[in-house]
Structure 1
Amino acid sequence: MALMKTIGIGDLAGRTGLSVSAIRYYESAGLLNSERNAAGQRRFVRSDIRRLAFVQIAQQLGFTIEQIREQLAALPAKRTPNKKDWSNISRNFRKELDDRIQRMIRLRDNLDGCIGCGCLSLRACALLNPDDKAGKGGAGPRYLLGDSSEYKET
C-alpha cells in the first residue's frame, strides 16, 4: 500500500459516516485491512470507502458479518474493485434476497387468518400443526417457511 494513495482512519470515518471504533471493529472482523505508517497510524486505501459502504448496506439488508466477509474475500486485495467485481457480489446476494422476499410474502399472505382467529387450532389455518406433524421438516413455523402442507389435517 503506497502511503501517498492512502487515507487515515479519521478521514475514512469522515467519508463513510462511521465512527473510528466501528472502522477498527470492521478491520478486526476481517472486512478491511490497513497498514501502519512510520508513526504507527493506520492507513487505508481509498477503495475502502466503497468497501465500508457495501458493509453498511449489506448489514441493513440483514446479512451477517460472516456473510459479508465471505463476499468481500472475493474482491481483489491489491487493486480497487471494479464494476465486474461488485456485480459478482451482487449476484451472490440476489439469491438470498429473493429467498427472503418469498418467505416474507408467504408470511404476509398467511398471517392474516392467524392473527384474526388467534387460536392456531382451525383446520384451515396455515400454521396448524397437530401433534407436531410438521416437526419432521425442522424447527419453526414450517408451513410459513414454505414446507408443503402434506402433514396438515384436512
Structure 2
Amino acid sequence: MPQIDPDLVWLKPGQVAARAGIAVSALHYYESLGLITSRRTAGNRREYRRDTLRLIAFIRTAQRVGVSLTDIKKAIDELPAEGLPTTRDWARISRQWHDDLTARITELTALRDTFTHCIGCGCLSLKACPYSNPDDVLGLDGAGPRRFP
C-alpha cells in the first residue's frame, strides 16, 4: 500500500479553514471545545491532520440540523481515537440523534404551518400557543410578552 508523505498529512490553519469553508477563528474555537485537535510545530504554529476536515464537515452538518456543540462533543468523544470512524460509528451516532431530530422536525413543521398567526399574536401567553408558552404558565404573571425566542 502506498504511503502518504508525512508532510502532506498536516495542514496549516489557513489551509484547513479555506477547504472547510470556515474562519481560522472557528478552528481555534472548535479546538478550545475539544472538538478537534492540532499539534504545534517547532516554531509553535498549529497544524491540523488532514482528517480534521472530515470532523469539521461532521460538526457543521450536525450544527445545521440543530445538534448542540455539547452533543456533538459527546459523539466525537465516542469515536475511535486512532484511525477513521467506520460506517458503523456514524450509524450509531445517527441512531442516538434520530428521535430528537424527528421531534424537532415535527415541532418546526407545526410552527411553520401556524407561523403567521403565531407571530401576529405577540402575547406569548395564550393557552392555544403550544410553542412559546405551553399551558399558559406565563399568563399567570399578567398580559404581554414574557420571554423572547
TM-score by length of 1: 0.67
More displaced 10-residue stretch of structure 1: 91-100 or 102-111? 102-111
Give percent identity, aligned residues only: 38
- Flag structure 1 segments of 5+ consecutive residues without an equivalent: 129-138, 144-154
Q: Which has the higher contact order (CA 8 A, sep 6+)?
A: 1
Give the match for residue 141 of structure 1: 133
> For 1:93, which of 82, 87, 97 is the aligned residue?
97
C-alpha spacing 1:117/1:88, structure 2 compared with 1 (3 Å): closer
Give the match for residue 46 of structure 1: 50
TM-score by length of 2: 0.69
- Superposed, 1:1-154 pairs within 5 Å as 3-4=6-7, 5-108=9-112, 126-127=128-129, 140-142=132-134
Determine if contact 2:124/2:133 at 8 Å carries over to the other structure: no
Shift of 1:20: 0.9
- Flag structure 2 segments of 5+ consecutive residues without an equivalent: 136-149
- Indicate the SS of the match to 1:44: strand
The alignment yields a C-alpha RMSD, in angstroms, of: 3.2
- Indicate the SS of the match to 2:47: strand
Counterpart residue type for residue 77 of structure 1? A
Determine if contact 2:41/2:47 at 8 Å carries over to the other structure: yes
Determine if contact 1:3/1:37 at 8 Å carries over to the other structure: no
Counterpart residue type for residue 79 of structure 1? G
Counterparts of 2:128 and 2:63, CA distance in 1: 31
Counterpart residue type for residue 60 of structure 2? Q
Structure with the greater alpha carbon radius of gyration: 1
Shift of 1:106: 4.0
Shift of 1:126: 3.5
